[in-house]
Structure 1
Amino acid sequence: MPSVVTAALVAAVLAAAVPAVSGAFAAADGSTSGDGAPDPSRSVALAYEFLDARVDQFCDGAGRCLPRSYEGGFFTTPSWDFTPSFVYDDALVIMAYTARGLPDDIRRARTIGDALLFVQENDPIGDGRTRASYEPHGIRQGRVEITGPGSFTGNQAWVGMAFTRLAHTTGDPRYLDGALRVGQWIHDNTADMARAPHGYTGGQLEDGTSLTWKSTEHNSDVAGFFTQLAQLTGDAVWADRAAVAAGFVAAMQSADGHVNTGTGLDGSTINTRPIPLDAQTWSALATGDPRYGSALDWTLENLIATDGPYTGPSISEVDVSKAWFEGSGHLALALRLRDGAGDAETAETLLDSIRLAQRDAPNGDGKGIVATSNDGLDSGFGDLYYASLHTGATAWYLLASAEDNPFVLPVDPAS
């Protein structure tokens, strides 16, 4: 079991370490809102324009839309155009729209939500699951074309949180029904109450094979999603299930504060490498537990990359040569919400670097946010990330700018 990080210890660490880290950020980046970075409000408006164009590009006659996730650079060449829409990204775009909440924002959020309901209802298995990604050309033709057939727990939870956000914002019961179907699928197919630490496993492959490992990221997602279901339904069983997922996340915290990635195939042995950023930031965002303040401090000390004019976290400790702007968004949000000594300044440095990338990064368009500061960032999990425009990175930037935590339902729903 990990050692318990007390609130007093977190406060002491923050007081001693974060201002120094923030100062190092400013020196390394050399770019703040007073030193050439774009105006924040204009930057946000341009980012929404980027999402608007992506959402409106692939819609069917019934008004259902799915935006492609990546465009440009590695993903768009004279011989290849990679257009799939990843449901994780789609969920984030929905949440970014509800964060601003203009009438057209809610309309577009609903077009994506309706597309996700459509693919859920028309899945070939039809048990409430959704898949990792879909072809938006198929949606435009009124059909479901699955491009990523896996049914992974984290993706399911993000779709569920998109549905709960829409249910909360619009009052439309269809979205809550969809969320409940997702939640029940997760519990029925991935709950592991036999192998300690108890929690939720990785989901299923296309052929129905169950993934036996447990992921900190996935359990953070489930904790946030099931808490929202408990709030919307008043059913305490969802709160109990959320507590199981949160307990798994707590069991993954190490003595130095960082949170490990999860378990091996046996569902019990802790997998200590790589150490991913999202296990640190999402643990804090999904649970609101101050114990993860030390995970944020560990992140600032170990995962920050400087790549030319850009500064931000990497995906894991395996490669800290480039900034991962999606991660910059959720780290900035976690720091803003923690609001400890130096957090606001460090978060603003991260956001300024995203704004510089929006304006100047390779393969950008001046509106959307590219995934990484340059091509070839090694995640540590067997894949590379590229400097291509990304709906998910853009949405995380907007959520951080609005201080809107996607793991938590807003206090006041948009009208």
Structure 2
Amino acid sequence: MSRSRSPRRAVGWTVVVALVATAVLAGAASAATGDPVPADETADPTAPEPSVSIALAYEFLDARTDQFCDGEGMCLPRSYEGGFFTTPTWDFTPSFVYDDALVIIAYTARGLPDDIRRAKSIGETLLFVQENDPIGDGRVRTHYEPHAIRQGRMEITGPGTFTGNQAWAGLALARLFHATGDQRYLDGALDIANWIQTNTADMVRAPFGYTGGQTDAGDSLVWKSTEHNADIAGFFGQLAQLTGDTVWADRAAVAAAFVTAMQSPDGHVDTGTLLDGSTVNTHPIPLDAQTWTSLATGDPRYDAALDWTLANLIGTDGPYTGPGISDVDTSKVWFEGAAHLALALKLRDAAGDAAYAGTLLDSIRLGQRDAENGDGKGIVATSTDGLDSGFGDLYYASLHTGATAWYLLAEAGDNPFALPAD
């Protein structure tokens, strides 16, 4: 209950929204000790070359972005398609703001004129739903119906207001301001940040930090999440950089200190707290608490968390190599997680990291070509259906904008928690 992954499910619908190995990768132990990791011998050398794969992945995002646009230039890509989410009797089309944020940032990473145009079209939609929210206090919601956007209206399909999702929307708007100089994007990001500060800051129950947000019904979530606080540390740090206001740096430091308090003696980072907001929740141990802490803070203390990940969260599923969502299930590969692990390793750049990141990216490219329910362009969420997150939901092999965007960021070496150098 202390992660934004579960809130990114469509709370209130009966089918759980799901995303994305049992054998430990040969060589993981040597990677954890700093020795070079050989390339995965199971990788298919006929998988697409990186440049071809990247171009195809952007084509996938282009098609999803352009699918649901109104006459005013607002667009909102559906998050999932195919497999579990697209059947003869049911087609799940909602667009998750977390995924939308990643798509925006992936477009700015390449930065071609059409990329920036599409990034702005999604950013305009985020501003639209923020400005037209029935409460109107700066928040955005978990997900929206893109068919409604195409009709020039807003339809909230996921009413929850979860802290991590807020931070990701803010990260996207901050990145758009950095890329375009349009003040409206920074103003929207600041409105989200102020919502987070007003509604989730907890300076009473140690370790201090930020709580989970609000449920669909508007009830406050009182637990604290490592993932959420890592998101906030990156987001508020960007606001400090963009505005010159040190209050955001101070608030980012509070979130980063919470993350530090969640690190265990063996190096891994726990998921957050229980309902009392103080007692550490030690099970399950999620991947993103390891990778996002490293990406969001740049703190070398989380090198130990990455090493723990390589030794404990990696598995194989047929030809695919990569992490599960948590230590509960490593029988399938979570391609989204493989991408942000590859990015964290590339940016750390310790001995063996480049080879290991290459192995993970090779596996994603192979999945792009061959995975169940794929289209040869986008990335499916998991290597095969039914990956158990450990948080009460299953993830599926369906095409996913978020996984595709993370893959592109990993290929580019672009950290979404940090603004690119001018």
TM-score computed with the length of structure 2 as normaliser: 0.92
* Match of residue 405, structure 1, among 405, 415, 418: 415
Q: How does 1:33-44 map to 2 (within 5 A)?
A: 35-44=45-54
Whole-Å separation in 2 of the counterparts to 1:362 and 1:180: 41
Q: How does 1:101-116 map to 2 (within 5 A)?
A: 101-116=111-126
* Match of residue 330, structure 1, among 337, 340, 353: 340
* Match of residue 164, structure 1, among 161, 174, 179: 174
Q: Which residue of 1 aligns with 2:370?
A: 360
* Match of residue 378, structure 1, among 375, 380, 388: 388
* Match of residue 207, structure 1, among 205, 212, 217: 217
Whole-Å separation in 2 of the counterparts to 1:236 and 1:146: 34
Q: Confirm whether residue 314 of structure 1 aligns to residue 320 of structure 2.
A: no
Which residues of structure 1 form unaligned runs of 5+? Answer: 1-12
Q: Secondary structure at the match of 1:305?
A: strand
Q: Which residue of 2 aligns with 1:52?
A: 62
Q: How many Å apart are 1:14 and its aligned residue?
A: 8.1
Higher helix share: 1
Q: How many Å apart are 1:338 and its aligned residue?
A: 0.1
Is the alpha carbon distance of 1:121 and 1:16 closer, same or farther for their aligned partners in structure 2, counting shifts above 3 Å? closer
Q: Confirm whether residue 78 of structure 1 aligns to residue 106 of structure 2.
A: no
> Is the Cα–Cα contact under 8 Å of residues 134 and 148 in structure 1 kept in the other structure?
yes
> Is the Cα–Cα contact under 8 Å of residues 133 and 148 in structure 1 kept in the other structure?
yes
AA at the equivalent of 1:403 = G
* Match of residue 43, structure 2, among 21, 28, 31: 31
Whole-Å separation in 2 of the counterparts to 1:196 and 1:164: 30
Q: How does 1:3-18 map to 2 (within 5 A)?
A: 17-18=33-34
Q: How many Å apart are 1:111 and its aligned residue?
A: 0.2
Q: How many Å apart are 1:26 and its aligned residue?
A: 1.6
AA at the equivalent of 1:143 = R
Q: Percent of counterpart pairs with the same letter? A: 77
Q: Which residue of 1 aligns with 2:255?
A: 245
Q: How does 1:93-104 map to 2 (within 5 A)?
A: 93-104=103-114
> Deviations along 1:205-225, whole A, 9 cap, x unmatched?
122210000000000000000
Q: Confirm whether residue 141 of structure 1 aligns to residue 132 of structure 2.
A: no
Whole-Å separation in 1 of the counterparts to 2:373 and 2:202: 43
AA at the equivalent of 1:255 = P
> Deviations along 1:240-277, whole A, 9 cap, x unmatched?
00000000000000000000000000000000000000
Q: Secondary structure at the match of 1:200?
A: strand
Alignment coverage as a number of residue pairs: 394
* Match of residue 401, structure 2, among 391, 399, 412: 391
Q: How many Å apart are 1:305 and its aligned residue?
A: 1.5
> Is the Cα–Cα contact under 8 Å of residues 75 and 146 in structure 2 kept in the other structure?
yes
Q: Secondary structure at the match of 1:203?
A: strand
AA at the equivalent of 1:305 = G
Q: How many Å apart are 1:16 and its aligned residue?
A: 6.6
Q: How does 1:115-134 map to 2 (within 5 A)?
A: 115-134=125-144
Which residues of structure 2 form unaligned runs of 5+? Answer: 1-28
Whole-Å separation in 2 of the counterparts to 1:16 and 1:96: 29
AA at the equivalent of 2:373 = N
Q: Secondary structure at the match of 1:19?
A: coil
Q: Which residue of 1 aligns with 2:231?
A: 221
Whole-Å separation in 2 of the counterparts to 1:26 and 1:393: 21
Whole-Å separation in 1 of the counterparts to 2:32 and 2:225: 32
Q: Secondary structure at the match of 2:380?
A: coil
Q: Secondary structure at the match of 1:344?
A: helix
Task: Flag the structure with more relative contact order, 1 or 2, with Cα contacts below 8 A and sequence separation at least 6.
Answer: 2
> Deviations along 1:316-346, whole A, 9 cap, x unmatched?
0001100000001100000000000000000
Whole-Å separation in 1 of the counterparts to 2:35 and 2:143: 41
Whole-Å separation in 1 of the counterparts to 2:101 and 2:289: 19
Whole-Å separation in 1 of the counterparts to 2:184 and 2:407: 28
> Is the Cα–Cα contact under 8 Å of residues 14 and 341 in structure 1 kept in the other structure?
no
Q: Which residue of 2 aligns with 1:150?
A: 160
> Is the Cα–Cα contact under 8 Å of residues 32 and 307 in structure 2 kept in the other structure?
no
> Deviations along 1:10-51, whole A, 9 cap, x unmatched?
xxx98872436x23x624xx116xx22211100000000000
Q: How does 1:191-202 map to 2 (within 5 A)?
A: 191-202=201-212
Whole-Å separation in 2 of the counterparts to 1:59 and 1:124: 22
> Is the Cα–Cα contact under 8 Å of residues 14 and 340 in structure 1 kept in the other structure?
no
Q: Secondary structure at the match of 1:253?
A: coil
